[in-house]
Amino acid sequence: MSESRLSALGYSIATNIPVTFFDTKESFFVLLRYNSMKFLVLILLTVVSSLVLLPAQSVLTWDDLADVTWSESYDESTGMTNLTGVFGEHLKSFDGQEVVISGYVIPLDAMGLSYALSRTSFAACFFCGQAGPETVMDLNVKPKSVPSYRQKNTLIKFKGTLILKESNETGLNYTLDLAKEIE
């Protein structure tokens, strides 16, 4: 808008601030448009800055978890065969990071206190002999936080911290710690 037009509408040319408020209907709309633009710029800056400041969370796929080579070792003191994983560099980059992964919740006890997250539904899960150890992980969530009707055959997305364990002596090789269900 030209300087003479702004001046005619009651705006100071030096400061672009209205000299008198609402002396004409047109000056009201100029003021409204001026304030609306400031408001939109403020909203845009707020959204962009919040996206920049959010902690990054990576989407983890079950194919990412397959970046591992397994070897078996026999522990004479326990009489058990343990799996030891050698994780690939790509998979190691997720260790200790907040990730998002989808899977099927498998209850590990009747009380609803312990769960695993599986790549496949209950009928084809690792515990049933249908898949490998890279298709299941410990799921550390609050006890009874996943309703029983959503377990076994409902694909659910979780966010949590991935923990890799080379040996499965104390549980599964993968753990999703501090896991929370997300939309």
State whether 32 and 72 are in the same domain: no
Amino acid 130: pLDDT: 63
pLDDT at 162: 96
The letter for the amino acid at 13 is I
- The predicted pLDDT at position 37 comes to 58
Q: Are 30 and 9 part of one and the same domain?
A: yes
Q: What pLDDT does residue 18 have?
A: 52
Residues 23 and 69 in one domain: no
Do 118 and 89 belong to one domain? yes
Q: Are both 74 and 123 inside the same structural domain?
A: yes
**Whole-number pLDDT of residue 126:** 61
Q: How many domains are contained in the chain?
A: 2
Tell me which residue range forms the domain holding 33. 3-53
Q: Which CA distances in Å does 72 have to 22, 81, 118, 127, 174?
A: 82, 6, 22, 17, 17
Q: Are 158 and 182 in contact (CB under 8 A)?
A: yes
* Grouped pLDDT means (10 residues each) for the chain, 183 residues: 52 51 58 58 49 62 93 87 90 96 87 85 66 87 74 86 86 91 85
Is residue 38 domain-shared with residue 124, that is, in the same domain?
Answer: no
The residues with which 164 forms a beta bridge, in sequence order, are 174
69 and 147 both lie in a single domain: yes
**Do 70 and 137 have their domain in common?**
yes
Q: 73 and 38 in one domain?
A: no
> In terms of domains, do 36 and 117 share one?
no
Cα-only R_g, the chain: 29
pTM of the model: 0.64
